[in-house]
Amino acid sequence: MGRVRGAVPVAVALGLATAVVLALGFAPTLNPVDLVLGRGRSVVLGDVVGAPLPGVRAELEEAGLVVATRNGFSLTVPRGSVLAQEPLPGSRLDPGSTVSLVVSRGAVRVVLDDAVGRPIVEARRPLDEAGVTVEVVDRADEDVPVGIVLEQEPGPGLEVQGDAVARFVVSSGPAPRPVPDVSGRSLPVASYALGAFGFEVADVKGTSATDLPPGAVVGTDPPAGTTANRDAPVVVVVSGDAPPTPVPAVVDLPAEAAATAIRGAGFEANLVTANAFELAIAEQAAIRAGRRPTPPVPGTVVLQSPAGGTERRPTSVVTLVVAP
């Protein structure tokens, strides 16, 4: 009788063991709790780099993973194949996890536009987007604004491939230059020399602390030899009081040439466009001067105030009336 009663616990134990084995066998993760909660089997991610995207996507989605893609250039991986993956091979992922794939667009191939005369930020934008190496060299230029392309290599219409480099020479604007030594010269000569070097006479001041004759230039501020940017204002110091000087006659000259002459003599140029009344005054002035009136050439000076030859103190404003 004892043996019969002892068989019941054994049978129960065997039944429980069988149930555990069955549970472990049907639990995808060998954890019976996962079976109860409905958790799926984890996936060990393989190495998919170099494989065509369609097959890789089908396998990953069949395993319950989400696939996200983006494109990238490659010299070695064919177009349409996987270039990189995240997570890395060997990672264990739960169903529903995302696998990020970089898909090759093939080798870099970019046809260069004509970039000369355009801002470098525009010229390099498609190259940066394609991953092309861009080399930029700055060069001073008196006329081309800062940041504008002066030269390019390869030229327009040519193709950049693989690991080639696109090179651009870009303007850094006018180069700084030293202030010339104009001491001992007359004010008109000094003003012209400063203008030729790219500086503007901003003011003229007198001084008695010198042995130079009245009207001679004693020095400048900034001093001679100081490096400054083009168009920087320069103050000229003369012996005694700053004397008046003759205003250049610039009627009939092109507007820019006239303004340059006025500034070179130490005056400020104020350019305005002539109206009908001022054109009539210019015609009468030509008649009084004994000249036969002719239609004004567009862009030329028809009137100036003060008139040429009139003496004014340096830095005075000279108005130039320009034909439309």
Residue 211 burial (C-beta neighbours within 10 Å; 0-12, 13-18, 19+): exposed
Residue 20 within a domain: no
**Domain co-membership, 189 together with 144:** no
On whether both 84 and 116 belong to a single domain, the answer is no
CB 217 within 8 A of CB 236: yes
Q: Which helix (H) or strand (E) holds 266?
A: none
- Domain end among 243, 264, 288: 243
Q: What is the pLDDT of residue 111?
A: 87
pLDDT in the model for residue 149: 97
Number of structural domains found in the chain: 4
The mean pLDDT value of the chain amounts to: 85
296 and 228 in one domain?
no
Last residue of a domain, which of 130, 145, 171?
A: 171
Residues 249 and 323 in one domain: yes
Residue 115: pLDDT above 60? Answer: yes
The per-residue pLDDT for range 52-95, each reduced to its tens digit, is 999 999 999 999 999 999 987 776 788 899 989 999 999 999 99
Residue 93 lies in a domain: yes
Q: What angle do CA 88, 90, 96 make, to 5 degrees?
A: 75
Q: For residue 1, count other CB atoms closer than 10 A to its CB.
A: 5
Is 87 part of any domain?
A: yes
Which of 127, 156, 171 is a domain's end point? Answer: 171
| Mean pLDDT, rounded, for 226-247 | 88
Domain of 219, in residue numbers: 176-243
> Is the domain of 131 the same as that of 68?
no
> Alpha carbon of 116 to those of 124, 131, 140, 150, 188: distances in Å?
12, 21, 15, 5, 40
Q: Can you tell me the mean pLDDT for 110-120?
A: 92
Q: Is the pLDDT of residue 251 over 50?
A: yes
pLDDT of 16 reads: 52
Both 185 and 258 in a single domain? no
Query: Confidence band (pLDDT; 50, 70, 90) for 224?
Result: very high
Residue 119 has a pLDDT of 96
Q: Are residues 288 and 254 in the same domain?
A: yes
* Same domain flag for 290 and 277: yes
* pLDDT value at residue 27: 42
Structure-model confidence comparison of residues 92 and 4, the more confident one = 92
Domain-embedded: residue 263 = yes
**Which tokens hold the place of 5?**
């009663």
Do 250 and 323 reside in the same domain of the chain?
yes
Within a domain: 99: yes
pLDDT digits (tens, 9 = 90+) for 8-52: 454 444 455 444 444 444 444 445 544 444 455 789 999 999 999
Nearest to 214 by CA among 259, 235, 234, 244: 244
Q: Record the pTM.
A: 0.47
275 pLDDT higher than 80: yes
Percent of the chain's residues with pLDDT above 70? 86
Please state the rounded mean pLDDT for residues 249-265. Answer: 93
In a domain, 43, yes or no: yes
Which of 32-36, 63-67, 156-160, 236-240 is modeled with the greatest confidence? 63-67
Residue 132: the pLDDT is: 83
Cβ 99 vs Cβ 91: under 8 Å: no
pLDDT digits (tens, 9 = 90+) for 304-322: 999 999 988 777 889 999 9
Query: Which CATH number is 58's domain given?
Result: 3.30.10.20
133 in the same domain as 98 = no
Same domain flag for 151 and 201: no
223 and 166, same structural domain?
no
Give the model confidence (pLDDT) of 135-151 as tens digits: 999 999 999 999 999 99
* Strand 149-153 relative to strand 165-171, pairing: antiparallel
**Residue 307: inside a domain:** yes
Q: What is the pLDDT of residue 46?
A: 92
Q: What is the pLDDT of residue 40?
A: 54
Query: Is 9 part of any domain?
Result: no
Q: What is the pLDDT of residue 241?
A: 76
